A and B are shown apart, each in its own frame.
Chain A
């Protein structure tokens, strides 16, 4: 208690009382991120407004030997932005300015708290956008995207966050301010930017980011293909990729999700089908028709019962709304659900989708699907009743078994949400002790005290405080 009081006093003298939150009820909202199953209390939340302030906060935390971490919008799904060992949350929401947009260099310089969509909204009228588009883009921050190397439906064609970050300013765990990369893409020495992107906020706090801006495509087309079996839909995905076609987006939605969407949103998804593919292609006008023809043929070869193009912008928007808000709709048909973001090589998609459903059955649960299919990135949605302890355990077990299967098929644990605290127990499915030690050597080199965002990613030495798992909270409400 003594230590905590002194810490808060020091933080208040740095920032003023109004920018330090330490009242227990006010701290409640910071107990979890989008993964509501796992909760950890912070001692304080601070609201810096500049890089220098972040640096002073970090030094203060180190002086008091308390853990600290950055937080964006808290939409993360792996329990990353929570104070797993207590300590201070550095909330980036007051550093949310688009500092500069420069079309000559085709870059924007932003503070980490800028909401992802805001940057594209600011640049789209001028013919540019920021390509990484997580489904959460209305809410999540670019700082959080950098930490999680976020993807999105259009990742398939344009690449993930890592492919769009040129430089950044980082407050290191000892408070030192370091610039890395710059306004051009060449790398001098080791690729620090590449290393920091996706490091889940464990190597430094990002306070400024230089991102690439992407030119808007000349045109795009959106299609909806229907299938009588999930297998036919996933086989079509594999064949489209195998044919060397890279659509802008290629999403798979199965019957359970379709039913939920249609009874609550009316997106215009066909009923009485086992699965649909939502396909978007972008590029030069001259190439789209031929590409569309090829995709249509592939889908028909695999037994598509219908293949239609969105005829108007409102129709297209309605389809995407169905995709992006599907989760909300699902929430209305099940007490709770849990999901992960395992990845498989794309030819293994049919196999993993079948496995997911079988595994659910074996554990007495239903599994629905909503995947970034073109990337091989699945989101098995495990339906369960959070009031029922046996079902809750069965849901966790199902998820772990699916992740293990992803690894056995040559895949990975996480395509976009990160390991966080959520997948600590699955880490060893993919990495042996030497692999882990190599990563931890990197972390120890840059964060010797280990006080920055501890108990994340690496199972070795993770403490995770006393995780308050609340039975009454429905978990995994997003993807």
Chain B
């Protein structure tokens, strides 16, 4: 039993195992008794579809087994360890897991991977899919199963890691993860430019992408994810790497921004840069009349079209958009009719996930089912034959 952990309100009983063997035993028993189970990390990204479960597994006790091999640029990290803690330990040897989801220190490594979360640096580093090399999970029969190895290249059996990333606790409980790591850049530098229209910001982003520049982040923001009362569209660029690399890029970037239609632009000092990125992650604290959040992914060429659509549907929107990845997080007015909007997104070949307080069914959260849903249901049944892991909480009611 744990106190004050978010898992307490979700289920009749909460257990906090500290070893994988314990967890396996607990899951075996739950499977025998057909008790439903929800895995909880930091509890910051849970979706329960309004359900109550028989058993919550507080995974934050699974913190043994951290192992960093700097010379291999790989690490094995227990799932219950806070991401921030893992990053801190890795930084002692100048390395990190290049995933930067918004996190106030609670997010667990297992939760971040199970929810496939990301942040602005996804622009350069991609997602968990590009960095996870091995996983241990407890499956729906209570068996401990391993996939992958601590090597950076591997075609030995099915790559089940991919199946676990983003599975939101519906096929098994992750107990540890191994990552390929990235070197921490020696220097970072943030630039910000302000535009009157989204088209101008997008055009500049495109110019930056075809210039000899390799930004670590490239992001367009508006509303709550910029400074207070901001009406404009902001382009945020973060350069990273070696001293000489960043210095050379600063020059190119300055010229590019100066030549763009920016109302104004600046290179931020360290304090401002930290503030800008903090705001991108958590908002500017402005009491917002809006509530719901939608994560939209779309073919890159459709960015302009999507923005026009968003502005039309949600005039007061707040937004962060990664043009090079075809991704946007949008804060919308909850009361609007979403179905029209969903249709339009579908037309441009996009997909969408809503995250609003009043949403309590998977079909509202993921209004467009992916084409392979029938296969996904079969996979769920194969790995969780008793259907105990968070049933009815994922895409298509999985």
Contact = CB atoms under 8 A, between A and B. Distances in A.
A413 B381 contact: no
A120 interface: no
A296 to B, nearest CB: 16
A99 to B, nearest CB: 15
A200 B159 CA distance: 11
B162 interface: yes
Contact of A191 (B166, B214, B350, B366): B166
Interface stretch (B32-40, B78-86, B243-251, B275-283): B243-251
Contacts of B295: 186
A441 interface: yes
A149 B139 CA distance: 25
Contacts of A244: 73, 94-95, 183
Contact of B163 (A172, A190, A413): A190
B92 interface: no
Contacts of A427: 156-157
Contacts of B378: 445-446
B355 to A, nearest CB: 14
A287 B244 contact: yes
Question: Interface residues of B toward A: which range?
Answer: 35 or more
A188 interface: yes
Given A187-B166, A414-B156, A457-B157, A376 B129 contact: no
Size class of the A contact interface (CB-based, 8 Å) = 35 or more
A75 interface: no
What are the 7 closest A-B residue pairs judged by CB atoms, nearest first? A194-B162, A244-B183, A186-B297, A286-B248, A104-B301, A445-B382, A287-B245
B88 interface: no
A283 B214 contact: yes
A302 to B, nearest CB: 14
Interface string A104-127: 111100000000000000000000
Contact of B130 (A159, A439, A442): A159
A2 interface: no
A195 B160 CA distance: 6
Contacts of A160: 153
B129 A191 contact: yes
Nearest to B206: A104
B297 A162 contact: no
Given A241-B73, A415-B151, 15 more contacts: A163-B126, A179-B372, A186-B327, A188-B366, A189-B376, A189-B395, A242-B73, A244-B95, A287-B244, A347-B69, A416-B155, A427-B156, A431-B157, A446-B379, A457-B158
B149 A412 contact: yes
Contacts of A369: none
A143 interface: no
Interface string A454-475: 0001100000000000000000
17 contacts: A183-B349, A190-B163, A241-B72, A284-B214, A284-B245, A286-B248, A286-B249, A287-B244, A343-B153, A345-B69, A346-B71, A412-B149, A431-B156, A434-B143, A439-B160, A443-B158, A457-B157
Given A182-B351, A183-B299, A188 B370 contact: yes
Among B143, B247, B301, B398, max chain A CB count under 10 A is at B301
A159 B249 CA distance: 24
Nearest to A283: B214
A149 B369 CA distance: 27
Interface in A186-235: 186-192, 194-195, 197-200, 215, 218
Contacts of B176: none
Contacts of A106: 300
A238 interface: yes
Interface of B: 69-74, 94-95, 116, 126-127, 129-130, 139, 143-163, 165-167, 171, 183, 210, 212-214, 241-242, 244-245, 247-249, 295, 297-301, 325-327, 349-351, 353, 366, 368-376, 378-383, 394-396, 398
Nearest to A341: B155
A188 B349 CA distance: 13
A411 interface: yes
A347 B382 contact: no
Contacts of A100: none
Contacts of A187: 116, 129, 166
Contact of A372 (B153, B159, B370): B153
A438 interface: yes
Nearest to B152: A375
Contact of A415 (B74, B154, B244, B349): B154
A26 interface: no
A148 interface: yes
Contacts of B350: 184
A195 B158 contact: yes
Contacts of B297: 184-186
Contacts of B383: 438, 441-442
A163 B379 CA distance: 22
Given A188-B351, A194-B159, A438-B139, A345 B214 contact: no
A149 to B, nearest CB: 5
B254 to A, nearest CB: 14
B153 A413 contact: no
Contacts of B94: 244
B299 A105 contact: yes
A465 B349 CA distance: 46
A184 B298 contact: yes
A410 interface: yes
B202 to A, nearest CB: 12
Nearest to B149: A412
Interface in A42-84: none
A377 B350 CA distance: 38
B131 to A, nearest CB: 10
A413 to B, nearest CB: 4
Contacts of A436: 157
A105 B167 CA distance: 27
Contacts of A178: 371-372, 374-375
B299 A346 contact: no
Contact of B371 (A107, A180, A431): A180
Contacts of B382: 441-442, 444-445
A441 B137 CA distance: 15
Given A244-B94, A290-B245, A376 B159 contact: no
Contact of A286 (B129, B245, B370, B396): B245
Contacts of A347: 69, 71-72
Contacts of B145: 434-435, 438
Q: Which of B129, B155, B379 has the most CB of A within 10 A?
A: B155
B242 A185 contact: no
A336 interface: no
A449 interface: no
B167 A190 contact: yes
A417 interface: yes
Contacts of A287: 241-242, 244-245, 248
